Amino acid sequence: MEEMRKPLRRMMRGVIGMKGYFFVLIGMMLFMWSCAVVEGGGGVGERSYVYVAGGPEGLFIIDVTDPENPAEVGHLDTNGYAYGVYVSGDYAYVADGSNGLVIVDVTDPENPTEVGHIDTNNALGVYVSGNHAYIADYTNGLVIVDVTDPSSPEEVGQIDTGDKAYGVYVSGNYAYVADYANGLVITDVTDPRNPQEVGHIDTAGHANGVYVSGNHAYIADWLNGLVIVDISDPSSPEKIGHFDTDGGTRGIYVSGDYAYVADTSNGLVIIDVSNPNSPEERGHIDTIYACGVYVSGNYAYIADERNGLVIADVSNPSSPEEVGHIDMGDKAWETFVSEGYAYVADQTNGLVIVDISDSENPEEVGHIDTYSALGVYVSGNYAYVANHVEGLAIIDVSNPSSPREVSYIDTDDLAQGVYVSEGYAYIADQTNGLVIVNVSNPSSPEEVGQIDTGDKACGVYVSGNYAYVADTSNGLVIIDVSNPNSPEERGHIDTIYACGVYVSGNYAYVADLGNGLVIIDVSDPSSPEEIGHFDTDGYAQEVYVSGNYAYIADWLNGLVIVDVSDPRDPKLAGHIDTDGWAHGVYVSGDYAYVADWLNGLVIVDVSDPNNPKLAYDMLWMTFYSVFGM
């Protein structure tokens, strides 16, 4: 079945411009619930704006006066992880994850300014009514904050909702909480200082978004689709309607007779709810991974986790049409630097080429959609891309501004890492181990060798006659590739969870996830020996060694620089927070180029390894929630 899907996906990508599919379990775990509820509406002067929660990059303000040509006009880093946003008056209220509630003055949309902040537990959604902000605070339930003075917010009430509060909507004296596996919880907030649960209904799925209109609550119930509940008596809510949307419902907005559902992989679904007892689909439009939606007039503004902001004309709900879009990429996974260019493997945006001749003013010059780029190696005029389920893609980059795919080869499993040496490409192909491809003729690659490495090969480095494979829970595996047609295992050493590897001299440096940096003596490849270790505090994904320093992409911990002048006694030299999730790193000259998942390409000046400094952050937006004005 998978063999049939692969060529079909390639054809579909050419027809509708697909950027990729959801990848690996860890990605699913991290992002299944990272898209927040969408609320609100209004106007500012003679221009129209949408306010977007952009994950680790905070709040974005987009001018949508001309829906066909949206433009970013303002941005504020909120310091946490922006899941949701609600605008009331001159202020935007941002549900900022573990950073709580952030209040932003948006009087001047081009210069948003933080004016207030309050810690909560893990703010995922927010709704403002009167002088109070109501926060869906994950395991902390519903938190009520007095925002009479936006510069000095004060928590005045809290109630445990039973499970995990993901979304909230306030209507009249009641707060309606989407409480994940606990369904819909209705709370009387007549006295904000003493909220009382008055009603509850199990929605059968996992409630993560809610919208109230009239006597009905519309619940985004994840894989259970849209659930409609009669709340005319809040103490006795009753399920009256249901519609299976095919995807996983995350966001919902109701306007007139229609419910607009952000249905993740199924895009935007428009449902006729004129008869709440019998909802019917009226229209649908593909995005990539729709998380939130806001409707104003004839337009739906869709926050798409993997495709930025999509604007659809819904004047005819049965035939919605995309008219505008703003996107700057998504998930930078790995980077390779060659002759003044950084080649970035972006998980959902393919191969991105950046001119770094001036590292403090980088400029994107080329891009090609590959499928799901996870690794990249450049040799001569070609970029070799580890392309997940589609194997190895070979891209002609002789003209960086116009990259062109010349060939690809299916590697049988999930290509995650690639290294090219002397006419051969060595691919870390997860459960299929190490795959060796003859690329002496890039337009006609041919698999010549393969070896099972024991677990899931996710990184590879070739030095001399040996390929060093980071084999996840199987540690480091050393393969003799002197005859590429017949690779043989020569050595092995357990680490904890090897994700990346770099070889310099007689040492292999292993990025070992939660175990940090492991240094292994490989002077005798048949008998590798661990001689050094350094705890990086994060989750080491990849490592690059230059001179006496090892540079580690340490996931949420950013870039960690370790002095390895004495491999037996590695010591911390420097550290810098990259804002996103550092996954890949390449060092050239005085700069480290970090593939910073959800944050794009981050360039760090490491001329003094003890004091790394941000040179440039090429923000690549990922949008989760949107609020219109």
DSSP secondary structure string for all residues of 136-164: E-BTT-EEEEE-SSTTS-EEEEEE--SS-
Which contacts of 221-226 are long-range, i.e. CB under 8 A and separated by 24 or more positions? 221/249, 222/248, 222/249, 222/250, 223/248, 224/249, 225/249, 225/261, 226/252, 226/259, 226/261, 226/271, 226/279
What was the pLDDT predicted at 17? 25
Map residue 13 onto helix, strand or coil: helix
Supply the pLDDT for residue 204: 96
Name the pLDDT band for 327 (thresholds 50, 70, 90).
Answer: low
Q: Which fold has domain 1-31+329-410?
A: Lipocalin (2.40.128)
Q: What percent of the chain has pLDDT over 70?
A: 90
> What's residue 436's pLDDT?
98
- Indicate left, alpha or beta for 384 from its phi (over 0: left) and psi (-120 to 50: alpha): beta
Is the pLDDT assigned to residue 22 strictly greater than 60?
A: no
Amino acid type, 425: A
What pLDDT does residue 622 have? 46
Higher pLDDT, 311 or 359: 311
Two structure tokens written together for 149:
């003075």
370-398 pLDDT, tens per residue?
Answer: 878 999 999 999 999 999 988 999 999 99
Q: Please report which confidence band the pLDDT of residue 517 belongs to, taking 50, 70 and 90 as the band edges.
A: very high
Residue 254 has pLDDT above 80, yes or no: yes
Confidence of residue 315 (pLDDT cuts 50, 70, 90): very high
pLDDT in tens, 100-144: 999 999 999 999 999 999 999 899 999 999 999 999 999 999 999
- The closest alpha carbon to 544, from 510, 518, 571, 494, belongs to 510
Top pLDDT among 91 and 62 is at 91
489 pLDDT above the threshold of 70: yes
C-alpha angle 169-170-174 in degrees, rounded to nearest 5: 125
Of 82, 93, 158, the residue nearest 130 (C-alpha): 93
In a 3-state reduction of DSSP, which class is residue 195?
coil
Give the pLDDT score at 9.
29
| pLDDT recorded at residue 244 | 96
Average pLDDT of the chain, as a whole number = 88
Among 130-144, 202-216, 321-335, 454-468, which stretch is predicted with the lowest mean pLDDT?
A: 321-335
* Residue scoring higher pLDDT (322 or 27): 322
Band of residue 618 on the pLDDT scale cut at 50, 70, 90 = low
pLDDT at 593 over 60: yes
The pLDDT score that the predictor gives to residue 581 is 87
pLDDT of residue 6: 32
Which one-letter amino acid corresponds to residue 227?
Answer: V
- How far are the Cα atoms of 110, 302, 622 from residue 322, in angstroms, in the given order? 26, 10, 18
Radius of gyration of the chain (CA): 25
**For residues 262 and 290, is the Cβ–Cβ distance under 8 A?**
yes
> Listing from the earlier edge strand, what are the strands of the sheet with 238-243?
209-213, 216-220, 226-230, 238-243
Whether the per-residue pLDDT at 27 is higher than 80: the answer is no
Q: Is the pLDDT of residue 587 over 50?
A: yes
> At a CB cut-off of 8 Å and minimum separation 6, what does 551 contact?
543, 544, 545, 559, 560, 561, 562, 585, 587, 592, 606
Residue 360: pLDDT band (50, 70, 90) is confident
Residue 257 · residue 216 · CB < 8 Å: no
The letter for the amino acid at 162 is G
Average pLDDT, integer, range 18-41: 27
The per-residue pLDDT for 47 is 85
Beta partners for 324?
Answer: 311
Q: Which of 447, 451, 453, 448 is nearest to 469 (CA)?
A: 453
Is the pLDDT score of 28 beyond 80? no
Q: What is the DSSP letter of 97?
A: B
Give the integer Cα–Cα distance in Å for 114 and 92. Answer: 9
Q: Tens digit of pLDDT for each residue in 397-412?
A: 999 999 999 999 999 9
What is the domain partition of the chain in residue ranges?
Answer: 1-31+329-410, 35-327
pLDDT band at 440 (very low <50, low <70, confident <90, very high): very high
Residue 591 pLDDT > 80, yes or no? yes
Give the CATH number of domain 35-327; options: 3.30.160.270, 2.60.120.920, 3.40.640.10, 2.130.10.10: 2.130.10.10
Q: Once rounded to an integer, what is the mean pLDDT over residues 584-593? A: 95
Rounded Cα distance, 51 and 95, in Å: 13
Give the model confidence (pLDDT) of 258-284 as tens digits. Answer: 999 999 989 999 999 999 999 999 999
Overall average pLDDT of the 498-519 stretch: 97
Band the pLDDT of 288: cuts 50, 70, 90.
Answer: confident
9-35 average pLDDT score: 25
CA triple 295-299-300, angle to 5 deg: 50
What percentage of the chain reaches a pLDDT higher than 90? 73
Q: What is the pTM of this model?
A: 0.61
The H-or-E segment that residue 29 falls in is helix 25-31
Model confidence at 67, pLDDT cuts 50, 70, 90, reads confident
If you average pLDDT over residues 587-604, what whole number do you get?
89
Whether 84 has a pLDDT exceeding 50, the answer reads yes
